[in-house]
Amino acid sequence: MRLACSSGTEGLRCVAFENTDGSTVIVYVNSGDKALETKIPAGDLKSYDVYTTDARHDLELTKSVENNTGGVLKAEPMSVVTVYSK
């Protein structure tokens, strides 16, 4: 099921889905020429993994968070960042 999603950051697009197994996937796309950041509020995703595709990474696990207390997600220029939460 598609979920409402907004990065709150101009130039950083996102789309989110809840899978049938209850997991959540959020995909952020930064097609610009500078890094952009967005917040991942505490409580929305208790734990999650971040996978990055850009000039240096090919869908590589770049971050794992347990017991999320609110964090910042950075999307490098010309990148796709996927957040997966069980």
How much is the pLDDT for 50?
Answer: 96
How much is the pLDDT for 61?
Answer: 97
- For the chain, what is the domain count? 1
- Over residues 28-74, the pLDDT tens digits come to 999 999 999 999 877 778 899 999 999 999 999 999 999 888 889 99
How much is the pLDDT for 45?
Answer: 83
Domain that includes residue 10, residue range: 2-85
Q: CATH number of the domain at 25, please.
A: 2.60.40.1180
Give CA separation, 83 vs 13, 25, 79, in Å. Answer: 13, 6, 13
Question: Predicted confidence band at 26 (pLDDT cuts at 50, 70, 90)?
Answer: very high
The reported pTM is: 0.92
C-alpha 77/C-alpha 29 separation (Å) is 9
C-alpha 24/C-alpha 31 separation (Å) is 23
